[in-house]
Structure 1
């Protein structure tokens, strides 16, 4: 199948529960723990703790219905506003936020986080804090000038975006255009915490193969600088997972702030 015929996340959607099962579960054959569970948890915990990043509003613009990247954030922000492009992802996320029967079990990710903090006795407390902070889940249209129209969001102190840009972009112009949209949601001096897969061309969810924008570290750095961001930290982790579900070569984490 040519990459041009692959599905696109924000256009065609995907099975949000299957996505979680493939990449975030605690199943014995789940090979992405080091890359996709631990990498964001460790980097965000360190960034928030030593980077003095905090405030009233954090906006999450990430792929699918994952929550593990919000565990550290809930300690530093009063309100987490989660933006999703599809009703299916919203329903899956709210099933967990509202502790409904059949919600995806994030207990293994919670355990990673609290053990890293040295607070292994606070599993339920950590999940409760995330649920309390992330009560604002809003559907968005990435192509609209105001992507949450008719809702107008307050300027954000911080944005987290995990594995979304490569899923929605077709080319470099798209990447820069969406970065500009993200920047428009931030206060001057606000922070952008960005996770991505480098040199990726596809990822698989169930029977669907979805296309991904291929880029490298140099391009990401140049794009951020071009949109007025100053990079405070950048980490690249070579792939450890052995799987044909997706073909990323490495993962990248960038912490940057918007110049005033």
Structure 2
């Protein structure tokens, strides 16, 4: 397996539907439920229910075409912009957003969030609320100074980045540069929510293996500190599955605010 060449998420083609089916579906043989569904949903519900993250505009800066991590955020942010670096991922999200034929079903995650919030009898409202909050789904170019080009965005109150920095960054220097671009989207006092995997080297989608920047929790903490962030909340969970689709030891969730 180590001899298989690794592709780059933002450069080579990415099978967005395969990614959803392998890591985020409700199939019985989907082994990543605890790590990629339950863990982020519980932590997102926790931080958004505490009231210290607020504002009007949220930017989602995540890999793949998943949207389940935005349900709790939609309780607070009435305007959301989803930024993707892969057109297939943008198309997948648009298919769901527009209720088009063949859209991936997120009913299982929607129900989970409603249960966390104690509102399991209002699952349809939860999805409609999220869709109403999403104003733009944009395919971006990482090389552009303005990542949202041609849109000109105001500084945002919150950015969620799940997995993206890990798959677009080749090394530590690249990670710092990309994290800096994310920081530039935020107001002073705005919040960044990071979700990622520790000690990973690759992730599989379809027939392809994609690069994953290998790092640990201390590196992420140091990177955030260097760019003027203060961590408000952090949770780390040891891997709870057995699979060769992706090699990681832990997953983490960090919420931090931009102090300078």
Superposition TM-score tier, normalisation by shorter sequence: over 0.9
Moved over 3 A (4+): 1-4
Cα-Cα RMSD: 1.2
* CA distance in structure 2 between the aligned counterparts of 1:92 and 1:171, rounded to whole angstroms: 29
State the SS of the aligned residue for 2:29.
coil
User: Please, which runs of 5 or more residues in structure 1 have no aligned partner?
Assistant: none
Give 1:3 shift.
7.1
State the SS of the aligned residue for 2:147.
coil
User: Please, which runs of 5 or more residues in structure 2 have no aligned partner?
Assistant: none
Q: How does 1:224-239 map to 2 (within 5 A)?
A: 224-239=224-239
Q: 2:5·2:209 contact (CA, 8 Å) conserved in 1?
A: no
Name 2:206's counterpart in structure 1. Answer: 206
Give 1:208 shift.
0.3
Q: How does 1:238-249 map to 2 (within 5 A)?
A: 238-249=238-249
Alignment partner of 1:96 is 2:67: no
Name 1:254's counterpart in structure 2. Answer: 254
* CA distance in structure 2 between the aligned counterparts of 1:148 and 1:135, rounded to whole angstroms: 13
* CA distance in structure 1 between the aligned counterparts of 2:185 and 2:41, rounded to whole angstroms: 24
State the SS of the aligned residue for 2:11.
helix
Once the two structures are superposed, residues 166-200 of structure 1 have per-residue CA deviations (whole angstroms, 9 ceiling, x without a partner) of: 11111100111111100100011100000000000
Name 1:156's counterpart in structure 2. Answer: 156
TM-score, length-scaled by structure 2: 0.97
* CA distance in structure 2 between the aligned counterparts of 1:3 and 1:113, rounded to whole angstroms: 40
* CA distance in structure 2 between the aligned counterparts of 1:112 and 1:2, rounded to whole angstroms: 36
Equivalenced residue count is 260
Q: 1:3·1:211 contact (CA, 8 Å) conserved in 2?
A: no
TM-score, length-scaled by structure 1: 0.97
Alignment partner of 1:130 is 2:159: no
Q: 2:41·2:113 contact (CA, 8 Å) conserved in 1?
A: yes
Q: 1:4·1:211 contact (CA, 8 Å) conserved in 2?
A: no
State the SS of the aligned residue for 1:102.
coil
Q: How does 1:40-55 map to 2 (within 5 A)?
A: 40-55=40-55
Name 1:83's counterpart in structure 2. Answer: 83
